[in-house]
Structure formats: C-alpha cells, structure tokens
Structure 1
Amino acid sequence: MSCLREADVSRLLHPAPETWRTPSGLTAHLWRRPFADRAPVLLVHGYASNVLYNWVKTGWLDPLAAQGRSVLAVDLPGHGSSADVDPTGLSVQDLLDDLHGLSTEMVADEPSGDAIAVHGYSLGSRLAWQLAAAHPELVASLIVGGAPAADRLAGLDAEAARRWARDGVVPQDPLTRSVVTVAAAMPDQNLPHVVELLLAVARTPFDPAAAVPAAPTLVVAGARDEIAAGSARLAELVVAAGHPARLVEVPGRDHVNVLTSRIYKDAVLDALP
C-alpha cells in the first residue's frame, strides 16, 4: 500500500484514494492520514449495505478524519464495490482472514502503533466481534453497533432465500422473509450475491459468549432497534471477562437511522484510542 502525499484530509471523499480487492473478494477503501498519531479505524458495514451507504452518506468519515486518523473501510463480497463477487463457497473464516490481513498490513504502515480500532455495524458487528476475539494483540478498541446478542441467522431457509433473490418468490418462513428481503430496500443490489453472503455467514453458528474480545468495547443501539434488542449482553460478556465495556442507547432511533445520530458518533469518537 502506498502512502498518500501530505494533503488536506480533513474531509474524506468517496471513492477512496486507494482501493483494492482481497483474495476472498472484499474491496478495501483506504483513506490514509500521513503522519497519523492515533490508531487507524477499520469499518465493516452491515448486510445489504455497503461503504457508501453505511459510512459515507451517514457522515462517519469526516469526524474520523478530524481526529487525525487513517480509515480503512471494506465492501463485503456481493456488496457495493464487490457486488460482482459471488460469495458462494466462502466461509466466515475466509472473511476474517482477509480482515485480519488488511488490519495487519494497515498497522504495519502506520506511525501510530501496532493496533487498530474496529467498528462493525449489524452483520459487520458480528465479524468485528469475532476478529477482535481472535486477535487481541491487533484490536485496541472494538465498537459494535446495531448488534444482535445472539445468532439471528440460524434456521434460515437457504433455498427459499435463493428463490427470492432469483425469482422474487417471497419466503413463507417468517425468519427467512424478514431477514433476506430487506436487501431489496437498497438501490443497485446484486440480490443473488447479497443473499449468498448472508447464507455463507449463516453456515457458521455464532455464540458471542464462546469467544469474548479482550479489547475495550463500546456497544451502541437505537432504543427502537429490534435487531439490537438485548445487545447489552455483549457489554456484559466483555465486563465479565475482565475488560471495560459500556452500552450507549440512542433514544428514538431504529436500526437504520441510528447511524446518523450525533450521540452515536460522539460516543465512538470518545471511545477510540
């Protein structure tokens, strides 16, 4: 990864100055702050979203730039700039391996130290949790937003999900219908690929208590976010393991509009190392 020339990076524009594809099909977007003295941040978006809609349009880049940080954001396979990637056959471990590789490469090029802050939202929070738990030496701070406290994907009807993405046949199973069909709300989706990414993640059961991050953790949830209901348990797990954690609940916000909240942003900026 090449360094940018020293320039005005108080505002970060999309697309990023540096973009590349990982072995498993993530598209990495890097805004490097030359001579940064604070930990870089890795951003991992949610299901059926992407870097542009999860982080750029909701106003996350400039506050991070104002703190003098480099920012690395990824489009997951089948999403955003990786919409052309068919995630069929991928595993959660494939995604985690690429996130680990990106993070390791990122901190190696940073003057601020040897660790990174990781911020995941919704499905991205699940990946961020697992990355932080597996690599405590690398993750200095963890933020999980809109995070389910349990495995919401167990029991998905894979064939019904694929039929919906391919032919528009609405799944009869309430769980599958409620989870997969939200992908249609985002413009320019490659629905078969978006659904395959979800199914790839669903194949690996998720129990947040099985491997708890050692990093200081911030859990953020909208008070009206049914998906993140009970996410206080995540903070409790971290505290029970002997590490600092806290929950911030944003009044009046749901799973979508909490991302634009000033309360959310201020809590994250305060929590970052």
Structure 2
Amino acid sequence: MPALQGSRTQPEARTSRRTAGGLTLHTWQHRTPQAPPVVLVHGFGSSTQYNWVKTGWIAPLMGTQRSVLCVDLPGHGDSGDVDPRGLRSEDLTAELADQLDDLGPVELHGYSLGSRLCWELAAARPELISTLVMGGAPATDRIGALDAQQARRWYRTGELPTHEMTRAVIPTAAALPGQHVPHAVELLLSLAEEPYAPSASVPGSPTLVVAGEQDRIAADAAELTDLLRGAGTVSEFVSVPDRNHVNVLTSQVYKRSVVEFLSR
C-alpha cells in the first residue's frame, strides 16, 4: 500500500490558545489551504498529543491541502487544569461552535467520546459542518450507567469499582502519562448526567463512520450509518480489520478512508 500523501513530511508547527470556556485549541496552519480545515476532537482519557499527533494524523490530513485544528477538552491534555464539573454537552458544543463560526464550514472528526460531541454539534449547527467523521463511536449511551460514587472513590483511593461498566471505563483515565485524572473523570461524569440518544437528532452532513473490527466499545457503530441513511444523510461505514478501540488510531486503513472521504 503506498504511503498517504504528506505522511512522510514534517507538518507545520502548531500554535495553541485557550478559550474562555476551557478548551485548548491547537492549530497547524497550512501555507496554501485549498479546502476547509479539519477539526479533530479526542476521546475520554486522551488528548491532542496522544489521540492525533503520536498516532500520525496531522501530516496526512495536511497533505490534503487543509489546515488542522485539534481540541483538548476540559480536564484533558493542555486543558487538564480545567475543572469540568457541571459542564454539559451543550456547553462544550456551544463553545466549540463559537470558535468555528469564523472558519466557515469545517470537516469535523471526533473519536470515541469526541465523536459524541461532534454528532451533537453537527446536528445542532449544520451550517458549520461540511462533513462529519465518527471514529470509535458507540451508537448507544455507554456512560449513562456509570456509578459516580465508585468512580470518584477510585481516583481518590485507588479502589477499583465493582460496577462492571464503571470498572471497564473509568480507570482508562490513568492510562496515559501527564493526565489530570480527577478532572478527566469528572468530565465524563458531568456528561453522563444527560442521556445521549443519537436517534433524537441526526446530522445532515455527509458522514463517515469508522470502527475497529475488534472494538468492543464501538461494536454497534454501524447502527449510526443506518440512522443517517434513514434520515436521508449520505453515509458510509468502514470496519478496520484486526484493530481494537485503541490501536485503530494508528491504522493506515483508517487514515486512508478519511483522506479519501474528504477528497470526494
């Protein structure tokens, strides 16, 4: 398989800034952009650095003649110092929408928890989004059943949750170095306060749904494609062979699928 365009080149240096709402935006500005910018939103317990930079996404996306803007969510990455307690999805999507207003329609790509926010933003503000990519995205609300008391006890004392879903999800907040674990957990618990129902509001932007073949978290991701098509939205689904929820991010199949989707 030939290399992705731009995958062997050094991407432009990034600039970073903090928004009033606690997002940190990292921008790689293409010198001569020929297409809308790509906006990337990471998953729970991750960051721009670990979700997108170290996995090799910046250069191939810039190879499509686009600038790239990555978002660090409150409690994560360079926004790790932001206490997210009390935040809701609509707070984050409204803050991100404010930042995108001056950019014109963008290509929006979310991964895991980030895909949930991107789905809601694309549905609420369709004029801001030209295409949507949903990576590692479950079609059901996996975080609504978390046991908040056990989650907080874990980050305060190290005691593993006995609640199955909480034990499976929450400790991943400590998987990467430099993470502000309490703030990362509190963001997830805050978002879990409100239900996530993709069928309630379906985006109209052309959408690519991608999941690893072995991804148990996003095992039902193809159902999003059915929702989109049922609403009349152009959509595609790609299953990446032999990849799970973590290592799918380094997949050339995943990257190539996104690059081809953006290039149509």
Report the TM-score range of the alignment, normalised by the length of the smaller protein: over 0.9
In the TM superposition, what is the alpha-carbon distance from 1:33 to its structure 2 partner?
1.7
Q: Take 1:70 and 1:49, find their aligned partners in 2: how far apart are those partners? A: 22
Q: Take 1:41 and 1:11, find their aligned partners in 2: how far apart are those partners? A: 17
Residue of 142, 146, 149 corresponding to 1:159: 149
Aligned: 1:60 with 2:57:
yes
Give ranges in structure 2 of 5+ residues lacking alignment: 1-8
Normalised to the residue count of structure 2, the TM-score between the two structures is 0.94
* SS of match in other structure, 1:213: coil
The total of aligned residue pairs comes to 255
Q: Deviations over 1:187-206 (max 9, x none)?
A: 12211101001011111110
Residue 47 of structure 1 corresponds to 44
Aligned: 1:36 with 2:33:
yes
In the TM superposition, what is the alpha-carbon distance from 1:12 to its structure 2 partner?
2.2
Q: Deviations over 1:145-194 (max 9, x none)?
A: 10011000112111211111111111111111111011121112211101
Q: Deviations over 1:99-142 (max 9, x none)?
A: 1112213x1xxxxxx31000000000100111111111110000
* SS of match in other structure, 1:242: coil
CA contact (8 A) 1:24 1:90 kept: no
In the TM superposition, what is the alpha-carbon distance from 1:13 to its structure 2 partner?
5.5
Residue 96 of structure 1 corresponds to 93
* SS of match in other structure, 1:272: helix
Percent identical residues = 52
CA contact (8 A) 2:93 2:117 kept: yes
Residue 264 of structure 1 corresponds to 254
CA contact (8 A) 2:12 2:29 kept: no
1:167 alignment partner AA = T
Q: Take 2:66 and 2:17, find their aligned partners in 1: how far apart are those partners? A: 20
After TM superposition, what 4+ stretches of structure 1 lie above 4 angstroms from structure 2? none
- Tell me whether 139-148 or 22-31 shows the greater mean CA deviation: 22-31
In the TM superposition, what is the alpha-carbon distance from 1:34 to its structure 2 partner?
3.4
Residue of 183, 191, 198 corresponding to 2:188: 198
Residue 254 of structure 1 corresponds to 244
Aligned: 1:74 with 2:71:
yes
Q: Take 2:69 and 2:190, find their aligned partners in 1: how far apart are those partners? A: 23
